[in-house]
């Protein structure tokens, strides 16, 4: 009876998704996301930056949003920091960065501003690295990012000159359902 209980317990854990949390991140992502990551990396290799292109989980940023596992997928980070127009960026240097949140046994896409340009700086809560055994991922404090001018998520003040309208630095904070944006 004890052996049957152990087998049953193991099977229940496997079916509940507990096993998925222990395996690597990339295979747990939805198939279309894995395909997009592979295509982005292949395109960057073909563009001649093969030595910079990442593999496996390198280039995927993981953290917690209010205690829930999340992953940020940035085409520039997948290609070792290179932005190549027509490959992983637009001709303006913007790209579509995706964010997925773990919901039970699957990943759900979370809303994130489009037309991101430049570097994305990830800020973690000050207490995120104090060794809390309950948290496997550091808690996100904010994202600091540049949005291409005219983005509604982080609007420009009316008195800004045309030269300054190219990009807008913003602080993005998660409120539990979406990001809120404030000019930097």
Q: What is the DSSP code string of 33-61?
A: HHHHHHHHHHHHIIIIITTT---TTTTEE
The per-residue pLDDT for 71 is 96
The per-residue pLDDT for 153 is 74
The per-residue pLDDT for 20 is 39
Q: Cα-Cα-Cα-Cα dihedral of 86, 87, 89, 92, to 10°?
A: -20
The per-residue pLDDT for 87 is 92
For 146-161, write each residue's pLDDT tens digit: 887 766 777 666 655 5
Residue 170 in tokens: 């913003």
- Distance between CA 175 and CA 182 in Å, rounded? 13
Query: Residue 77: which residues within 8 A CB-CB, separation 6 or more?
Result: 54, 59, 60, 61
The per-residue pLDDT for 167 is 78
Would you say the pTM of this structure is higher than 0.85? Answer: no
CB 41 within 8 A of CB 50: no
User: Per residue of the chain (184 residues), what is the pLDDT tens digit?
Assistant: 333 333 333 333 333 343 334 458 999 999 999 999 999 999 999 998 878 899 889 999 999 998 899 999 999 999 999 999 999 999 888 898 999 999 888 999 999 888 898 899 999 987 755 555 556 789 999 999 988 776 677 766 665 555 555 778 889 999 988 999 988 8
């Amino acid at each position: 009876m004890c052996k049957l209980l152990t087998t049953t317990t193991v099977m229940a854990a496997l079916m509940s998704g507990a096993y998925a949390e222990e395996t690597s991140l990339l295979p747990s992502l939805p198939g279309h996301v894995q395909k997009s990551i592979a295509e982005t990396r292949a395109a960057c290799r073909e563009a001649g930056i093969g030595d910079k292109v990442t593999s496996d989980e390198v280039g995927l940023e993981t953290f917690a949003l209010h205690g829930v596992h999340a992953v940020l997928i940035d085409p520039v980070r997948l290609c070792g920091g290179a932005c190549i127009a027509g490959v992983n960026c637009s001709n303006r240097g913007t790209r579509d960065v995706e964010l997925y949140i773990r919901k039970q046994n699957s990943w759900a896409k979370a809303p994130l501003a489009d037309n991101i340009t430049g570097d994305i700086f990830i800020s973690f809560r000050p207490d995120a690295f104090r060794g809390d055994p309950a948290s496997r991922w550091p808690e996100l404090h904010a994202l600091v990012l540049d949005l291409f001018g005219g983005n509604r998520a982080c609007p420009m003040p009316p008195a800004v000159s045309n030269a300054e309208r190219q990009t807008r630095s913003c602080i993005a904070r998660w409120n539990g359902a979406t990001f809120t944006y404030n000019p930097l």
